[in-house]
Chain A
């Protein structure tokens, strides 16, 4: 990891697809704490926990701010800050800060991992929730109030269902970013599939490094397609994003259309 040069060149020359197949068919790589099943489990567990905590924080705040219709500034700012802060830098910073204030056994790995991944997951969910709810037609909301809806009902029966496509898009973006960044927690001893990559680079084991990268890529694609299916399930049919819009929106959207243009 320190020097590029002859070492890197040698390793690369030795790599073939056969090595990769051999790595994946070696029984030892499928059992124990460093086996593929356990690493996938660690990776998925920390990701699910982080997405859940991020949603538990960002959804209520986003609903409140969006319902009050004063969220443009907050939405745009969180989106921009979320994009400008590099996830790698954030992870390492959170880690060193926790190392200072916590006992070492708590400061390594899982703890700073969850904190960082949660922080990364909040901006997309918050921004999309605010933009989605605020985007609900003001006349429609007035009409609902006129029909005797209470504020709580306006939110739960009108704004939330209509904002659902955007909110789900935000959750999906957050989840994908979290799964991707969870690869890096191996650098601070947090386990997960990144362990193969980080360990592989440290030991100049190209086969293991690439096998780890392939697993990470597969997990990310699996997450993306899985969440796309969930999104279709939970989005009320009549509020699904029109085809025309879906074109403008990112497949793995980093932000809803509005903030991108600002």
Chain B
């Protein structure tokens, strides 16, 4: 029988580790932003290309789906020979996980822009490139941002797994806590990670409303 005498949560320990909470949370944020931004930088050109040339769509999605299927810890480890034991393989792996969600949402978003709107843009003398950046991408923004939100939230969760092979991020609380079976520290890592995911999701939703003011009006119109 294991006897653990300490209380379930030691508040004093939490208050004494404010500095670490801050550091790990900031690290976690950076470790999340890098793969999401990198994923977006890869997905946007690929998505636009696959939307224009339909034949490319299935192979692109197939490869992204293949990478997505490989479990995170396994993919981290498989990249170690290329990168060394650090958080670099974690960042590369997390970037590849965002591709499936982002590419799919980019293509769906552009697909759903009404053909009349694109025709009107062409009729007004916009070139294909101008139509893409001034009409199609802005109108696809809600779908693209929905993809970014899902990618961000799942990346925040997976960054914690990265602490198994490297150091840093809120997963550090969980791996350190596991080694000494200290519930307070584990719970702190878990709660902060969920909190970060919820805040990031809400923040991105706010950003989306800000950059697509017309959807906000449509929403207000629908409810009133």
Contact = CB atoms under 8 A, between A and B. Distances in A.
A, B: real partners: yes
Given A92-B177, A100-B4, A217 B190 contact: no
B2 A107 contact: yes
Interface residues of A, number: 61
Interface string B167-185: 1000100110110010100
A197 B73 contact: yes
Nearest to B168: A4
Interface in A239-254: 247-248, 250-252, 254
B1 A84 contact: no
A184 interface: yes
A184 B197 CA distance: 21
A220 B108 contact: no
Contacts of A176: 69
A89 B153 CA distance: 14
Given A8-B84, A84-B157, A220 B101 contact: no
A181 B78 CA distance: 16
Interface string A78-105: 0010011111111011011101100110
Interface stretch (A67-75, A129-137, A206-214): A206-214
A213 B73 CA distance: 7
B150 interface: yes
Interface in A203-250: 206, 209-210, 212-214, 216-217, 220-221, 224, 247-248, 250
Q: For the complex, would chain A's binding face be called helix, strand, loop or mixed by DSSP majority? A: helix
A161 interface: no
Contacts of B70: 216-217, 220-221
Contacts of A103: 1-2
A184 B69 contact: no
B150 A86 contact: no
A165 interface: no
A92 B2 contact: no
A179 interface: yes
A183 interface: yes
Given A93-B186, A96-B183, A250 B86 contact: no
Nearest to B142: A261
Contacts of A84: 153, 156-157, 194, 197-198, 201
Nearest to B64: A251
Interface size of B as a range: 35 or more
Contact of A217 (B71, B105, B175): B71
A1 interface: yes
A11 B85 CA distance: 9
A260 B146 CA distance: 7
Interface string A159-174: 0000000000000000
A212 B80 CA distance: 13
Nearest to A221: B69
Given A197-B77, A210-B80, A90 B62 contact: no
Interface of A: 1, 3-4, 7-9, 11-12, 15, 80, 83-90, 92-93, 95-97, 99-100, 103-104, 107, 176, 179-181, 183-184, 187-188, 194, 197-198, 201, 206, 209-210, 212-214, 216-217, 220-221, 224, 247-248, 250-252, 254-255, 260-262
23 contacts: A8-B84, A83-B150, A86-B190, A87-B157, A87-B161, A88-B161, A89-B171, A89-B174, A90-B190, A93-B183, A93-B186, A100-B4, A210-B78, A210-B80, A213-B75, A213-B76, A217-B70, A221-B69, A224-B69, A247-B61, A251-B69, A261-B142, A262-B146
Which 5 A/B pairs are nearest by Cβ-Cβ distance? Answer: A8-B85, A251-B65, A180-B71, A89-B190, A86-B157
